[in-house]
Structure 1
Amino acid sequence: MGAFDYISSFCSYTYANAKTKRKPLQTVDIKVKMDCDGCERRVRNVVRRMKGVKSVEVNRKQSRITVNGHVDPNKVLKRVKSTGKKAEFWPYIPQHMVYYPFAPGMYDKRAPAGHIRNPTQSFPTANAPEENYVSLFSDDNVHAACSIM
């Protein structure tokens, strides 16, 4: 019985490893230009057939696809591009999520209402005009404020 126990523990061990290597459940948002119902249906069907996909939501007005499941985001993007459509990861975030939404390069005319382009930095630069005005009229620098007035 010792050999049988050893073999059975080995089999259950490999089965447990296969379970743990499963990709985590995640949401992937992709921007895809879709003009008609046929484009929407083609992209939805291609993504739905992927292994690990739980749900696919398509919003043609925003040119957005949301995929939920145990999938690799790069593979989803590659699969969407295989339909011949121009696709990229969703580059927009809600405006209220950004600390400093007025930084240059944040606004995009094609962004949906209430969204801005995902910033690389959300804080103002050191030489921003607002910073210069604030430091100009400080209590520590009394003489500079008097020279302007």
Structure 2
Amino acid sequence: MITPKKLTAKLRSVPEAKSIFDKMAELPLWDAAYLLLRSEFLLNMIEFDARLRNVPFVDDPAVPAKPLIGPRRTILRFNPHEMMVLRLKAAHPNATNARLLEAIEAARELQSQKAWKLMMDADFSRARSATTLQEEWPGFEQKTYELAYHDFRVANR
């Protein structure tokens, strides 16, 4: 059966996903975590389109088998948090798990309601929003703050 680690290795071999992993490898850890957070849905779609999960259905031990029907079968799923750590580890193999988790948490904060409130308070100004985010969460590159502002503007059209 496929494991999350094997799945991440297989995913990296798909050209569309490889380009995302290559971009993440070029960026510092926190910025790579933000890019991963933005690309998570796309990576999942690439994974399913490439049929990387060779066992689409597995027996679900949590549901008792019915006499005439048999065991309940469910789609093979992995812990999304674990998958995010493994995908980030694929781009930054030397990072410790603690640093990976810290980067993922910082990226989530940059997409949080608190960050959006700060951007609204900055009167939707790109420069002021980026400066405000940088003061609140130092550690990202300037272009990542601007990318967060862009995501905010797209979501609030």
Verify same fold: TM over 0.5: no
TM-score by length of 2: 0.27
TM-score by length of 1: 0.28
Please identify which structure carries the higher helix content: 2
Please identify which structure carries the higher strand content: 1
